[in-house]
Structure 1
């Protein structure tokens, strides 16, 4: 059987084989690895300086089998990797519908997810639309499915102002606040990211998104099977992705201590991914009031009525939240739990330095060459390199030891869909 070649990196091919359902029926076929199971595999690969693509070769799979025991049947990995024919068919189907697939090992994978969610970052993202929007950030606007006229008016006004002030809207695409925010922003000429909990395949051909997709105004993504229907678990799981892709978040309406909006907001307050703002209008919703009491910042109608730039207002507010957000211990998606980032200013500075380091590492360099290039201490360069290696942003080469940016070496190539 001949399988059409598609634009997949070798790493993405391997990760998709391990974690994707590929249209197979749950309960009848070999079960894909869960996120936690894949993380076990990724830890072992990382410790042995292997990449997911190495599993497509016999030597990589043998190394994995010889490593410390996994908490599940290792033969399952071989069976999952043997699904090349199924992968070829389903990728061709998705491609014909305009879908694309990226993995945590791809340079296109959003850095916000990688840095904020660490090992919880989805191994695979399925999407349609403008990939460049994934690293744009913006304001997450979230809320209940059932909302009154006042909440609708607030949401539409806020989303319109976001579009005017070039603040991207990030939401979940569900009925109610999510859909109102996204569609209003698009109609006003803005951009949006929709993190879906159900059927990306259906959303990709929905008439309401058609013009925005053609104009590059929207990206729709999901971490779940693109053809999967709605489930409460998927809806709850995608909440953290909405927050992690944003720069700040605003809750329009939340039920008190129940529902996805409440749980997502509380998790964000605990994890401090982004500053949380909460609509504070009278009469105050009990859920909104409690979120403010737990650390959310009140956002009133007066802010919208004042004519102040939403972007400027948010940036002014974020200064008071900067310390707890940037000092969070960030974990790489593929490293052991105990390998956490230092909770100090040096960790923050890395995010500022990284663009310059990445530019310097477009060619292979030693650590001493980098120290000389930046005129700084060798120990500081080595600390930054270690951080970049742990986050899979830099690759360490040997004989002799030197370093190069992964973005340069991990370009997608046209490959057959099974070895």
Structure 2
């Protein structure tokens, strides 16, 4: 259980971003995530932390600052909501909830590493906070499911518990909830990322004993008392994938619904997490289309106690190995027997050389001199630098053209 006394940084993030149970249209309107990121960037540029906005000279500094579409009066009004903050925190903590700001040491590192600026500024939660750092298998799917899909989901969850794999899911009716309850019943652990009604879920009889025993953690980036909102449900999908090591889409509609949108987003933006789909014995149309877009076929039964090993093997299978300027096609023989898999390790030269490149860019340096320092072709170095710029790791400057480590982006994740 976390200490109920919030760090000053977290208090300020709440003042700026939380709605405290009110309609978000009521003035002053809390900051959106993008707006908070703008403030965080300004804080870093001025070598400040969120807590510094509570100091006596903060009003003077903010009045001198320039934020894109954020009025200074609005920021000052948000920071003056101390009484509302105290009442809200007292209400939440009385129900066993805790709050994490993005600057907290307990904030899950996976979210910051994989989502960067898209990681939520605030996380509300209940249960064992350590579970947020354990990864696991994300299991998602449709809300309306038949008996076959239900049984399949329960079998995967049970196999996960036997293999020591945590289940991460969204807690929604259908596949998500079935996966969470099944792994808990089998003695495993689970993390549920909710889109609404965290305070109600925290005292729900289905979850109460597992939360108390440290087996279940429920979190939400939205107000704990907020009701269902389709936009929020869509928005939290990336958090489910980002907190896991692997993901399984049990059933999905094609081209519509939260399951489809979340899987497509994960396939395109969260490359660190292999996305699997159920293909056998029956594949829904959405599953087939996700497979066509790059998802992997989930290992077929029997899993026994080796599900984690099977997931690792299947995650390494690939049809091609890509590096800048080079693309090599590789044929992979895959039989229906899981024991006959020919595993090809995933290779990414860029990932290996990036730390070396960054170590040479504490001061601005042009492509040619950097290539000479590392003894590689200039065109190859330019490819790597372009990618580093796209990822926000490196900043390109002009007059003359040079590259330097993006310290602002690296520090922003702390706030």
Q: Give TM class, smaller chain.
A: 0.7 to 0.9
Q: Which residue of 1 aligns with 2:207?
A: 209
- 1:46 is displaced (CA, Å) by 1.3
CA 1:63–1:343 in 2, change beyond 3 Å: closer, same or farther?
Answer: farther
Provide TM-score, normalisation by structure 2.
Answer: 0.77
CA–CA distance in 2 between the matches of 1:324 and 1:210?
47
> What does residue range 197-236 of structure 1 map to in structure 2 within 5 Å?
197-236=195-234
**8 A Cα contact 1:243 1:268, kept in partner:** yes
1:314 and 2:311 aligned: yes
- 1:173 is displaced (CA, Å) by 0.2
CA–CA distance in 1 between the matches of 2:321 and 2:45?
30
Q: Which residue of 2 aligns with 1:157?
A: 155
Q: Which residue of 2 aligns with 1:97?
A: 95
**8 A Cα contact 1:45 1:64, kept in partner:** no
Is the partner of 2:171 in helix, strand or coil? coil
Is the partner of 2:236 in helix, strand or coil? helix
CA–CA distance in 1 between the matches of 2:69 and 2:350?
31
CA–CA distance in 2 between the matches of 1:283 and 1:306?
18
Gaps of 5+ in 2: 325-348, 358-392, 395-404
Gaps of 5+ in 1: 328-341, 351-382, 395-405, 411-419
Is the partner of 2:277 in helix, strand or coil? strand
CA–CA distance in 2 between the matches of 1:269 and 1:28?
37
Moved more, 100-109 or 49-58: 49-58
- 1:343 is displaced (CA, Å) by 5.2
**Higher Cα Rg, which structure:** 2
CA–CA distance in 2 between the matches of 1:8 and 1:135?
20
CA 1:161–1:293 in 2, change beyond 3 Å: closer, same or farther?
Answer: same
What count of residue pairs does the alignment treat as equivalent?
Answer: 346
CA–CA distance in 2 between the matches of 1:157 and 1:349?
45
Q: Which residue of 2 aligns with 1:361?
A: none
CA–CA distance in 1 between the matches of 2:160 and 2:321?
25
Q: Which residue of 1 aligns with 2:76?
A: 78
| CA offsets 1:193-251 (integer angstroms, 9 cap, x no match) | 00001110000000000110111001100000000000000000000000011111000
CA–CA distance in 2 between the matches of 1:264 and 1:393?
25
- 1:304 is displaced (CA, Å) by 2.7
| Match among 113, 116, 130 for residue 115 of structure 1 | 113
CA–CA distance in 2 between the matches of 1:349 and 1:150?
51
